[in-house]
Amino acid sequence: MTIKLHCFGESGNSYKAALALQLSGLDWEPVFVDFFNGATRTPEYRAEVNEMGEAPVLVDGDFTLSQSGCIQAYVTEKSGKFGGATREENYDILRWVLWDNHKLSSMAGMTRFLMNFLPEDKRPADVIGFNLGRLKAAYGVLDAHLQGRDWIVGDGVTNADLSCCGYLYYPEPFGFDRAEWPNIDAWLTRLSEQPGWKHPYDLMPGKPSDRA
């Protein structure tokens, strides 16, 4: 049975789940969520897809799951991929997924939205400036950790990598320049060289030019 992922191309959190599915080899297909026209805020979406009013949402037969980190864990359970080789590595993967959700992706997603998807006269400069400072600190943590490493945890791609990369391939400005972070840059290149990898705008339906 084909797994369905409710998602949209602009969503880095959706990308984390979609990329895990894509690289796992599981049979899956994207289901477009028209976020920018309010799809996730409708009573129908909350009743039928996700009570939290968010994407991504995975549907595998009669099993439904939201939150990218949970979906990644489900993909690991189902495919046997992207987990750690030891108990210690599995906890380290979880540590990085939680760090990313709190320190990196949350800031990157919000800042990218404020800088690119709001009308220019409604972009809060003070909030954006504060967020950019938080993001710079997060990039520094990740770049330092990747010094001398190919992957965030262990010797191969894990959910730590698939979570932390969620927003870092997007072209819109949000305070991230790969050239300023050489270890992150090399890691992103390695990840993009994995068989089956696709850019978020190629992997999922929906991109800014659709609304231009």
Q: What is the pLDDT of residues 133-145, one digit of tens each?
A: 999 999 999 999 9
For residue 97, what pLDDT is reported?
98
Is the same domain home to 170 and 205? no
For residue 113, what pLDDT is reported?
97
Is the same domain home to 104 and 48? no
CATH of the domain at 181: 1.20.1050.10
Question: Residue 112 is encoded by which pair of tokens?
Answer: 């990218």
Is the same domain home to 160 and 207? no
Residue 7, domain extent:
3-81+198-211
For residue 212, what pLDDT is reported?
72
Give pLDDT < 70 ranges for the chain: none
CB burial class (10 A; 0-12, 13-18, 19+) of residue 7? Answer: buried
Is the same domain home to 179 and 202? no
For residue 79, what pLDDT is reported?
98
CATH of the domain at 28: 3.40.30.10
Is the same domain home to 181 and 104? yes
Is the same domain home to 133 and 159? yes
The CA distance from 82 to 162, in Å, is 9
The CA distance from 173 to 175, in Å, is 6
Length of the chain: 212
For residue 211, what pLDDT is reported?
79
Is the same domain home to 94 and 179? yes
DSSP lists the bridge partners of residue 5 as: 30, 58
Is the same domain home to 120 and 175? yes
Is the same domain home to 33 and 108? no
Sequence-ordered alpha helix ranges (H) in 100-124: 105-116
Total structural domains in the chain? 2
Q: Is the Cβ–Cβ distance between 135 and 107 less than 8 Å?
A: yes
